[in-house]
Amino acid sequence: MSTESQIAVHWREEEYIQPPPGFIGQANAADPALLEQFREENFPDSYRAYADLLTWDTYWHTILDTSEPPFWKWFAGGRLNACYNCVDRHLAANRNKAAFLWVPEPETELTRTLTYQELYTQVNEVAALLRDLGLREGDRVTLHLPMVPELPVCMLACARLGVVHSQVFGGFSGTACGDRIADSGSRILITMDGYHRAGKLSDHKAKADEAVVTAAKLGQQVEKVLVWRRYPDRYLSAGDMVEGRDVFVDDLLPRHRGQRVDPVPMPAEAPLFLMYSSGTTGRPKGCQHSTGGYLAYVAGTSKYYQDIHPTDTYWCAADIGWITGHSYIVYGPLALGATSVLYEGVPTHPDAGRCWRIAERLGVNIFHTAPTTIRMLRKLGPDEPARYAYHFKHMTTVGEPIEPEVWRWYHDVVGKGEAVVVDTWWMTETGGFLGATLPALQPMKPGSCGPGVLGIYPVIYDEEGNVVERGSGRAGNVCIRNPWPGVLQTIWGQPDRFVQLYYGRYCRDAKSTDWHDWPFLCGDGAVQAADGYLRILGRIDDVINVAGHRLGTKELESAALTVPEVAEAAAVPVIDELRGRVVEMYVALNPGKEPSQEIEDKVTHAIDQQIGKIARPHAVWIVPDMPKTRSGKIMRRVIAAVSNFADVGDVTTLANPEIVEKIRRQVQSAK
Ligand code: PRX
């Protein structure tokens, strides 16, 4: 097991907590027959219920085509358009309903409402613009946008044309964006001049210039950079527009005013978007999600697990730059015709009351956030929620394990005892939830996400592939035994890596077209209680989960190694009260180089430059050498134990056991 799950915080099983009666009465999933419908013997036909939440141009003929394992095809033969399903089909009944409520930063700016009709108009105009730039079905476009309505508008415009969007989290650096542009083969980048975050105006366009240079070095020419202009009267580096390459969207859009673009009916298995994620090697993985399966899956899980009704005001306080935002700010809620809140900034700025003011003002009744945010708000403003007159019926958490005492504050103080809490466990690759409770039908258990969701049948295997029995208290590698509509289709451009990473470990027969032979490796360690509830311990691969964000140790180390003085680098997770984990970098220097503050700063700067400030290490330790196995492998596990003041275990078999004590003295005395 990896360092991440080894240092997982262990807590005992908690008691069940029942949902409030008022919630049960109104829930979308209140009838236990739904659980029966999704029993394993009904798989895969059970997923017809999810497909039927969508409008199909051509109805599918085969629910699950397994002929080319593990490249499963859901709803084969079907055609649909994701944009049509999220926008057009709601116009007849709900033209003037808010699709998005956008809360910008600073707070003094007014909330902007985008009705379904306005969204339709804007999406069509942007689709017309993209079409006139020559974009066609299957082309890729990289978006590097902050939390502004232009982001979902661009995503939906791409979807309307059958163009594959690849949104790179706005906080990522230009270099990280350039890597992803090159990997996806995008010739168009869409960005914005600047945006506000925690009181600072960030010059975002400058990152696009770096991204284009990085992509070009990797062999990908960006022909056009489309720049949304938010601050026309301020000088940002958008002033340095590159002639022939960079264009302001607001200069182009007037030519497309009022234009309409027919939504292209796409095959169910056509890719809808790429979402890059970190993994074991330095190269980011472009997780490819499908049109029909993905959209059906996020619509179904939004309906039953987030309990979204058309009358709800739903707020997922994540960033659309991550999978949570794609699935549960944009595609899931819009497929259901809901009102989805977008907000810009951070939950703690200008103070710990921001979220609760937004909830009160907009009448939010479903709230979705991450344990890191909950921990921060609990620390900064434990009594703040009571000061605001909002009422949540439903709250969700996602991204990391939530400690039971944090869960309780969320339930009692944020939820005021009126709301259910649904702990949703899943990952970029899975499109939507894997483990959670059906809020009216399954009780909550703080610290456990719940059983597999409808149609998901989890199993825990040990290293040899034996099943770890439920209730045994033993941890193992959690897998999903069956395919499901939201699962990634492949890693963009790396099909072999896809097969090997997710199916290689436990596949029983590589020739088999029977899905039973292809368990999907989720990448987490977990314990399953006798009731089937899962307690997630953390990643088993070389990924560190910082505040719910996945950072690849290899990416961090490669960045550190670009500093000329650095010979070796190791990134390790360290437990942090607020963010769950933080990263500490250990580096050893080339011969003749002396440790200095300057080198530490260079390492931090290199990580800022190549990945982004979200990956900035909490500490950089320059050590005389790294603990290594006899074959020369750096023992991150041992370093992490030292950094966490934990037991390092038996180190006598290392090539250089004496270094462990030296590092321990250096680091622990300085902490
Ligand atoms: O370790 C698990 C953790 O986040 C990882 C997935 O990260 P990412 O692909 O960035 O997606 C985050 C949003 C879905 C998982 O492998 N994780 C996610 N949700 C939970 C969780 N750990 C514990 N409990 C959760 N609810």
Question: Per-10-residue mean pLDDT for the chain, 671 residues long?
Answer: 55 87 95 97 98 98 98 98 98 98 92 97 98 98 98 98 98 96 98 93 94 98 97 81 95 97 98 90 88 98 97 96 98 98 95 97 97 95 97 97 94 97 98 98 97 98 95 94 98 97 96 97 95 94 88 92 95 92 96 96 96 95 94 90 92 92 94 84
> With left for phi above 0 and alpha for psi between -120 and 50, is residue 267 left, alpha or beta?
beta
The CA distance from 159 to 242, in Å, is 28
- Whole-number CA gyration radius for the chain: 24
Q: CB burial class (10 A; 0-12, 13-18, 19+) of residue 549?
A: buried
Tokens (6 digits) for 219: 């062999």
In the three-class reduction of DSSP (H, G, I as helix; E, B as strand; rest coil), residue 2 is classed as: coil
Tokens (6 digits) for 77: 């033969």
Residues with Cβ within 8 Å of residue 629, at least 6 apart in sequence: 635, 653, 654, 655
Cα of 520 from ligand 1 centre, angstroms: 16
- Tell how far CA 166 is from the center of its chain: 13
Residues with Cβ within 8 Å of residue 26, at least 6 apart in sequence: 309, 393
The CA distance from 447 to 298, in Å, is 24
Cα of 245 from ligand 1 centre, angstroms: 38
Cα of 548 from ligand 1 centre, angstroms: 7
Residues with Cβ within 8 Å of residue 265, at least 6 apart in sequence: 57, 58, 79, 80, 81
Q: In one letter, which amino acid is 130?
A: L
Instruction: Report the atom number in ligand 1 closest to the C-alpha of 539.
Output: 1
Q: 170 near 610, Cβ under 8 Å?
A: no
Tokens (6 digits) for 62: 């085969």
User: Which amino acids bring their CB within 6 angstroms of ligand 1?
Assistant: 277, 323-324, 398-401, 423-428, 449, 523-524, 536, 538-539, 545, 550
Tokens (6 digits) for 227: 């720049």
Tokens (6 digits) for 310: 């058309």
Substitution site in 3, 305, 480, 524 for ligand 1 pocket (most atoms within 8 Å of beta carbon):
524
The CA distance from 405 to 487, in Å, is 32
Q: 551 near 611, Cβ under 8 Å?
A: yes
* Residue 5: per-residue pLDDT: 57
**Nearest CA-CA partner of 426 in 561, 590, 243, 294:** 294
- Tell me: cis bond preceding 254? Omega within 30 of 0 counts: no
Quote the pTM value: 0.94
Q: 404 near 492, Cβ under 8 Å?
A: no
- Rounded to whole angstroms, what are the CA distances from 298 to 44, 53, 294, 415, 429? 17, 10, 6, 24, 13
The CA distance from 569 to 599, in Å, is 13
Q: 632 near 600, Cβ under 8 Å?
A: no
Substitution site in 319, 430, 536 for ligand 1 pocket (most atoms within 8 Å of beta carbon):
536
In the three-class reduction of DSSP (H, G, I as helix; E, B as strand; rest coil), residue 340 is classed as: strand
Q: Phi and psi of 430, rounded to 5°?
A: -95, -5
Instruction: Report the atom number in ligand 1 closest to the C-alpha of 4.
Output: 1
Substitution site in 427, 502, 528, 579 for ligand 1 pocket (most atoms within 8 Å of beta carbon):
427
- Tell how far CA 644 is from the center of its chain: 27
Secondary structure letter of residue 113 according to DSSP: E
Cα of 462 from ligand 1 centre, angstroms: 20
> With left for phi above 0 and alpha for psi between -120 and 50, is residue 506 left, alpha or beta?
alpha
Cα of 256 from ligand 1 centre, angstroms: 41
Instruction: Report the atom number in ligand 1 closest to the C-alpha of 277.
Output: 9
* Residue 11: per-residue pLDDT: 63
Whose C-alpha lies nearest to ligand 1, atom 14?
A: 427
Q: 321 near 525, Cβ under 8 Å?
A: no
User: Helices 658-670 and 636-643: crossing angle, nearest 10°?
Assistant: 30
Cα of 428 from ligand 1 centre, angstroms: 8
Instruction: Report the atom number in ligand 1 closest to the C-alpha of 436.
Output: 26
Tokens (6 digits) for 2: 């990896």
Helices of type H across 43-81: 48-51
* Residue 351: per-residue pLDDT: 95
Instruction: Report the atom number in ligand 1 closest to the C-alpha of 550.
Output: 10
Instruction: Report the atom number in ligand 1 closest to the C-alpha of 522.
Output: 16
Secondary structure letter of residue 55 according to DSSP: -
Tokens (6 digits) for 586: 């250990």
- Rounded to whole angstroms, what are the CA distances from 587 to 267, 421, 556, 576, 639? 49, 42, 11, 21, 11
The CA distance from 141 to 125, in Å, is 17
* Residue 405: per-residue pLDDT: 93
Element (H or E) spanning 167, and its range?
A: strand 164-167
**Nearest CA-CA partner of 484 in 13, 50, 35, 190:** 50
The CA distance from 329 to 326, in Å, is 6
Q: In one letter, which amino acid is 237?
A: S
The CA distance from 266 to 259, in Å, is 21
Cα of 45 from ligand 1 centre, angstroms: 28
